[in-house]
Chains A and B, each alone.
Chain A
């Protein structure tokens, strides 16, 4: 024999293929093993126990699988199958499709974090659909290769622009997927993973996601915010346990307990730092607490979120004087790092005459008063100046405090109003008028109190630096409005002068100058974010700034240079092709609106306006999400975000390789008969009627119940096994005997007896074919252990009272019996593996009448093609010992073939 290395292809990683590959490798042959799925092990690894010794299948097979992985002569390719085979000399040239795993096998540590986070729940093939798995998954703990893979069946239908639009990168498609499938708590946890204020954002977020939602291009964008609120409402945050984290012992001070400060504190606490938050006001929450009115954000909701932050160990000190130069210096001195998030608490003046008259109040001050419990009506005729959210809040609050008339005065048009559209809508709904293109120019008082407001009409001129058209007063258009209260809400300013004591550089308008990528100020260890940096902005921006600073501070405390996170991509619109592809596919569905309190009722008090979705409505609305409509991975990126070793790669592509082999061993395995067509047995229609392999998974410790035999959470007591389902049966097209069902049924019966001592067990049979070594004895023992064997196959299985009723003619006694059972297990027969047709097609292999690969009469691994051998169930039913023997035989024939090839 020459020294040329010989190469054999083994197709299929079940026990037959494993045996053949190991034998060949031990004889010095290089083996390439292809496994269509994520792991080798085949059907045998799905079994709980193997007859007749009842040893655990995992225990016996797992070492062999590991041996395959360790054997240097075996190259194992998972997710791979041959797609074309051509004869090449004595050997073969094989084209192999290596399906992409989307996980870098070299990096993956099989830690399982990705699966924990994945929002896509699918049926586990390993558990025969009796249990779930995620779209990114390891099929079972002993899988070889033990690496995750992503079940990505098609490209996502939209660009998930929502995630790119969200300042904190909320996994919108992910939580919508959870909601649409009823996993509300999972949805909440997913939201919470990137956002410490889900209940706030579920109510008052300006929802940039909805603005870019690609569904909006067809009908209406998803109600992302309201769905978030739904998820929050369906979860009791009090149940949330603080995760145990390693304490670092580093101290961080946060100045300001607004959303930015608290978000930063939250994230820092999760990193194990000791965080103290200094807040000047008597309660934490900043603008969330004192500016946003109760009817939009109930204080109780906010409190729950802040309580959780406290639960994480954050020390929030309210009423603390942090905003002075002295305090700033002291805080800086006693902490390892400081985050400044003092917000923009100062209202801006109007700059017109009479502004100081009593009865004219600053909006922020007004709201703070109301939120602090001052519920006196501000006046009968109230004018609110401004067009932002604060102005709208002031107006709606004034209305609720009993003012006869409330009007909003805004110098631009509705188009330009910075307030959220739905807020303006609600405002108008509640009977508040808006004077557009108007601005006060002077206030007059009567009796020392404001009584009149003189306004001027405006028109829009050239755009200003903000891009909006600058309002220009129209000469001679002055008019007077009688008022007894004016609330000004023109914007807010920051108060940062106290920071000069520690040398923090300020920018235009007194805002703190920072490195926009990291939030670092010019002073080492001092970071800033939120309104105090940007000027007045949205809650979610403040939260994002707080989170960014927390990352930077953590890096800083670890002694690293804080690196800015790469900005997420800009929200992408659908391409023209995507759009047209979806047009036919997506049915027009309107957005399901969240119910609200009727206007008449709600304006009387501060009850919350939005009522929240019902679960059905939420599921229906979430179901509209385009991303969630694909099967398998929705590319939400959660795994990518979680994976510490960066093993996830969505951009991986399938590979096609061509390799030469001297011989081929096929071990394609088998499928099981689907008994759905046997209507009389009730499979698929009657709960409690399952197949043997499903039962196998239910019994298995690696199965969905961890090995407890449970049916809807209860332990069944009466078991009825029916043999020869789809075997020895012309009707189902299989005259053959499947050779394994008699014994696996006996095995199931003995497993049941072992686990449920008082179980009643019946087995229906035609002949008990216990032909192998030790089988007859096993069958005998099973009978002796109290399994009743009834000769005769039941005519039907019907639903009885709280149970199933099996109607069977006992051929031994001749009587027709009706036997009650909790679980009916069908011992389904063997069928050729579904891929066998393609395989035979590409290799020109003949098949027998049932579709198994046709083999030589005395050399049972020889096919009609020289050099291609088959083992295991590929050529017909076999039990494990026979499959192992046939694996050895096929290997020996192949060995002989390739040896002859090298001598000639």
Chain B
């Protein structure tokens, strides 16, 4: 065996608290370590060249890269091995940054820890065997869950790319919340027009099937070959698809959760959406006094919503503007923490609104007291440090976004994760905002965090493009980390078969041993841990790998 160890400085990040030089020297003494080097950025092109050159020069058959967490650069380093005709699964990544240099300050201790971590990689990798990457056929069809703007744009795009699309909406009508908006920022177009245009176009496409008032009740299968069970008004329907765009939007924050807002108890206290819906029906005096309250249900630790809802400042400004436009003699005062007029043109709009006479007061509202003459607001002006008490004829609440009601349910159907606020968790907040942990399932729009209409459209399309990129070839590679049976060791006790969640294990009555359905195996390794003689083992995580990793971590080897 010829092992190459490459230890990354990651610039400052690792080198700062780990003595990388000492490590690279240390590992040179191991008998089957042929190369042991440290390098400023192993991921950079010269760093990669160093690895490929070493493979070529020394005929390495194990490559250990001690650098950042394995989730980063995974494919990159595998490709290097592929390029040199070394099976990419003979690569071992050791995280000495996220799990070592960044979590400890002491150089000695960190260096020792890094040594053990690399040692465990070294001993673990010694038991690696080449694995095969298999191709599977994928269906060039997609399920789009949620018919709001992001779902509509995703469905439209996919359909135009020639994919069969199934669009599922739980409501009776497509369009989501946008349909109700009178004027969408920044285009100022009526929301209904935007969604109706999309809906019309979508309905005219032959390869799109739209299910309204439909619930997704079951979802199984694997990448490229998923099966979704839909509960449609006309009965249950199963569809086979290659992948999914989940765009189930958001739930408007219900101000009723905060009883002190008196929402729902007094008709003079409304949300921005109520205001839009009411239109001219508002019974307001000639010169109405209107208060607009920002950050309702956002940035509010008390109710466990620390996040900013991103859209409500603009909504608040629009509400203020609407009142001002309708009642030019009105007194409009906006109470805010920070005015986050960040969207395109938002800042200018904020300025214009101020110029139109809307007052902005940085304040904490303490109390809302409805009385016959008006709604009394008591609070503290945080700029002047004074308390105030003012009466209004109308209080408009700019409510934030809550995660969709079904986020938990959907997350468990799709086996994707939620973030702490119960929005969907993206694979990487910046670089992979549409991907989830599950291959072929993408998220779009506000279900991964508050977004405005423009951003939701962006997301829908980008997410759909990602999915298309995965499916357009008609085939894909499957993960090789699946279970395998050693029939000579198998006692045929069928414990694994009983435990297997994916039902991927089948019993051969003739030979009295089990076998694995490769396409169905999810690679969790439960069977491996269940089998007392480890006759079934999970490739890449076989007992000997983990056993030796344990020993090496404890330096007991």
The answer on a CB contact under 8 Å between B346 and A737 is yes
Q: Which residues of A lie under 8 Å from residue B189 when comparing CB positions?
A: 857-858
Bound: A896/B449 CA distance, A: 27
Whether A888 contacts B307 by the Cβ 8 Å rule is no
Q: In the complex, which residues 456-491 of chain B have their Cβ closer than 8 Å to any Cβ of chain A?
A: 457-459, 461-466, 468-470, 472-473
Instruction: Give the shortest distance, in Å, between B32 (CB) and chain A (any CB).
Output: 28
A773 within 8 A of B: yes
Interchain CB contact under 8 A, A886 and B458: yes
* B345 & A736 in contact (Cβ 8 Å cutoff): yes
- Residues of chain B contacted by A739 (CB below 8 angstroms): 342
In the bound complex, CA of A861 to CA of B72 (Å): 29
Q: Could you tell me the distance between the alpha carbons of A727 and B68 in the complex, rounded to whole angstroms?
A: 37
| Residue A900 CB within 8 A of the other chain | yes
Also in contact, A776 and B462, with CB within 8 A (given A53-B429, A142-B44, A857-B186): no
- The smallest C-beta distance from B149 to any residue of chain A, in angstroms, reads 9
SS of B interface (majority) = loop
B194 within 8 Å of A (CB atoms): yes
A814 contacts B by Cβ under 8 Å: yes
Given contacts A56-B10, A66-B45, A768-B338, contact A50 B430 (CB under 8 A): yes
| A857 vs chain B, min Cβ distance (A) | 3
In the bound complex, CA of A769 to CA of B339 (Å)? 7
Which chain A residues in 733-759 approach chain B with CB under 8 Å?
A: 735-737, 739
Residues from chain A with a CB closer than 8 A to the CB of B157 are 892, 895-896
| B539 close to chain A: CB less than 8 A | no
A27-B472, A59-B10, A812-B383 as given contacts; A888 in contact with B462, CB under 8 Å = yes
Mask of B540-554 contacts with A, CB within 8 angstroms, 1/0: 000000000000000
* A374 within 8 Å of B (CB atoms): no
State whether B161 touches A884 (Cβ < 8 A).
no
Chain B residues with CB under 8 Å of A61's CB are 431
- Please state if A858 and B454 are interface contacts (CB–CB under 8 Å): yes
Residues of A within 8 A of B454 (CB): 858, 860
Contacts of A728 in B (CB 8 A): 347
Contact residue among B44, B351, B428 (Cβ-Cβ distance under 8 Å from A62): B44
In the assembled complex, A774 has its CB within 8 A of some CB on chain B: yes
Q: Establish whether residues A881 and B338, one from each chain, have CB atoms under 8 Å apart when the complex forms.
A: no
B13 interface contact, C-beta 8 A: yes
Is the Cβ of B384 less than 8 Å from the Cβ of A814? yes
Q: Considering the complex, which residues of chain A in the window 756-781 have a beta carbon less than 8 Å from any beta carbon of chain B?
A: 767-777, 780
Interface locus among A117-125, A548-556, A583-591, A700-708: A700-708
Let me know if B434 is at the binding interface, CB within 8 A.
yes
- Expressed in whole angstroms, the minimum distance between the Cβ of B422 and any Cβ of chain A is 13
A473 CB-CB contact with B under 8 Å: no
* Complex: chain A residue closest to B98, CB-CB: A55
A48 to chain B, nearest CB (A): 9
Chain A contact residue count (CB 8 A cutoff) = 77
Write the A880-904 contact mask toward B (1 if CB under 8 angstroms, else 0).
1110111111011101100110000
Query: In this assembly, does B406 line the interface, its C-beta being within 8 Å of a C-beta of chain A?
Result: no
- B308 close to chain A: CB less than 8 A: yes
How far is A780 from B460 in the complex, measured between Cα atoms in Å? 30
Is A812's CB under 8 angstroms from B385's CB? yes
CA distance A875 to B343 in the complex (A): 12
- Whether A776 and B458, one on each chain, are in contact in the complex, defined by CB atoms closer than 8 angstroms, is no
Contact call A60/B44, Cβ cutoff below 8 A:
no
Q: Does B188 contact A (CB under 8 A)?
A: yes
- Per-residue contact bits, chain B 239-266, to A (CB 8 Å; 1 contact, 0 not): 0000000000000000000000000000
Q: Is A70 an interface residue (CB 8 A)?
A: yes
Residue of B nearest to A792 (CB): B383
Cβ-defined contact, A736 with B347, below 8 A: yes
Cβ-closest chain A residue relative to B452: A771
Residue among A28, A771, A896 with the highest chain B CB neighbour number at 10 A: A771
Distance in angstroms from A764 CB to nearest chain B CB is 14
| Closest chain B residue, CB of each to CB of A110 | B46
Inter-chain CA distance A791–B184, complex, in Å, is 31
Question: Residue on A with the closest CB to B470?
Answer: A26
Interface residues of A in 136-165 (CB under 8 A from B): 141-146
**Closest beta carbon of chain B to A206's beta carbon, Å:** 45
In the complex, chain A residues whose CB is within 8 Å of the CB of B160: 896, 899-900
Contacts of B466 in A (CB 8 A): 23, 888
> Does B46 lie within 8 Å of A66, measured CB to CB?
no
Interface string of B414-449 (1 = CB under 8 A from A): 000001000100001111011000000000000011
Q: How far is the CA of A586 from the CA of B454 in the complex (A)?
A: 58
Nearest-Cβ distance from residue B351 to partner chain A, whole angstroms: 6
With A59-B72, A142-B44, A737-B342 as given contacts, are A891 and B347 in contact (CB-CB < 8 Å)? no
CA distance A893 to B45 in the complex (A): 32
* Known contacts A141-B44, A812-B382, A882-B455; A70/B79 CB under 8 A: yes
A1 touching B385, Cβ below 8 Å: no
Known: A142-B44, A771-B308. A884 touches B188 (CB 8 A): no
Contact partners of A876 in chain B: CB under 8 A: 344
Closest to A896 in B: B160
Cα(A881)–Cα(B428), bound, Å: 10
Contact residues in A for B383 (Cβ distance below 8 Å): 791, 811-812, 814
Q: Is the CB of B306 within 8 A of A771?
A: no
Bound-state CA distance A279–B434 (Å) is 79
Contact B430 A60 (CB under 8 A): yes
Any A CB within 8 A of the CB of B107: no
Among A53, A66, A702, A861, the most chain B Cβ lie within 10 Å of the Cβ of A66
Judge whether A452 is part of the interface by a CB distance below 8 angstroms: no
A706 to B48: give the CA distance in the assembly, Å: 22
Distance (whole angstroms) from the CB of B212 to the closest CB of chain A: 23
> How near does chain A come to B184, taking the closest CB pair, in angstroms?
7
CB nearest neighbor in B for A702? B11
A63 interfacial by beta-carbon distance below 8 Å: yes
Q: Which of A705-720 contact B (CB under 8 A)?
A: 706-707
Taken together as a complex, chains A and B put the C-alpha atoms of A736 and B449 apart, in Å, by 24
Pairwise interchain contact B72-A735, C-beta atoms closer than 8 A = no
B12 contacts A by Cβ under 8 Å: yes
Instruction: Report the nearest B residue to A883, measured CB to CB.
Output: B430
Q: Which residues of B contact A110 (CB under 8 A)?
A: 45-46
A50-B430, A58-B11, A881-B429 known; A141-B72 Cβ under 8 A: no
Given the known A-B contacts A27-B469, A59-B10, A739-B342, are A777 and B45 also in contact in the complex, defined by CB atoms under 8 Å? no
Q: Which residues of A contact B41 (CB under 8 A)?
A: 58, 62, 141-142
Q: Which residues of A sit under 8 angstroms from B385, Cβ to Cβ?
A: 812-814
Q: With an 8 A cutoff between CB atoms, is A64 at the interface?
A: yes
| Interface membership of B117, Cβ < 8 A | no
Given contacts A737-B341, A860-B344, contact A884 B430 (CB under 8 A): yes
CB-CB under 8 A from B342, the residues of chain A are 737, 739, 769, 771
Q: How far is the CA of A580 from the CA of B434 in the complex (A)?
A: 63
Chain B hits for A53, CB < 8 A: 429-430
Q: Chain B's nearest CB lies how many Å from the CB of A359?
A: 71
Q: How many angstroms between the C-alpha atoms of A56 and B9 in the bound complex?
A: 13
Distance to closest chain B CB from A53 (angstroms):
6
Task: Find out whether the CB atom of A777 lies under 8 angstroms from the CB atom of B68.
Answer: no
Kindly state whether residue A859 has any CB partner on chain B within 8 Å: yes
* Interface pair B12/A706, CB less than 8 Å apart: yes
The CB with the most chain A CB atoms within 10 A, among B157, B347, B385, is that of: B347
| Given contact pairs A27-B161, A881-B433, a sample of 7 additional A-B residue pairs in the complex whose CB atoms are under 8 Å apart | A26-B469, A56-B11, A141-B44, A767-B338, A811-B383, A858-B453, A861-B458
Q: Which residues of A contact B (CB under 8 A)?
A: 1, 23, 26-28, 50, 52-53, 56, 58-64, 66-67, 69-70, 110, 141-146, 701-702, 706-707, 727-728, 735-737, 739, 767-777, 780, 791, 811-814, 857-861, 875-876, 880-882, 884-889, 891-893, 895-896, 899-900
Return the 7 tightest CB-CB contacts between A and B, nearest first.
A888-B462, A857-B187, A701-B11, A26-B469, A767-B338, A701-B12, A773-B449
A-B contact pairs, 25 of them (CB 8 A): A26-B470, A27-B472, A28-B472, A56-B11, A59-B43, A61-B431, A66-B43, A69-B45, A146-B44, A146-B45, A707-B11, A707-B16, A728-B347, A767-B336, A769-B340, A771-B308, A773-B423, A780-B306, A859-B457, A860-B457, A875-B344, A882-B455, A888-B465, A889-B462, A892-B465
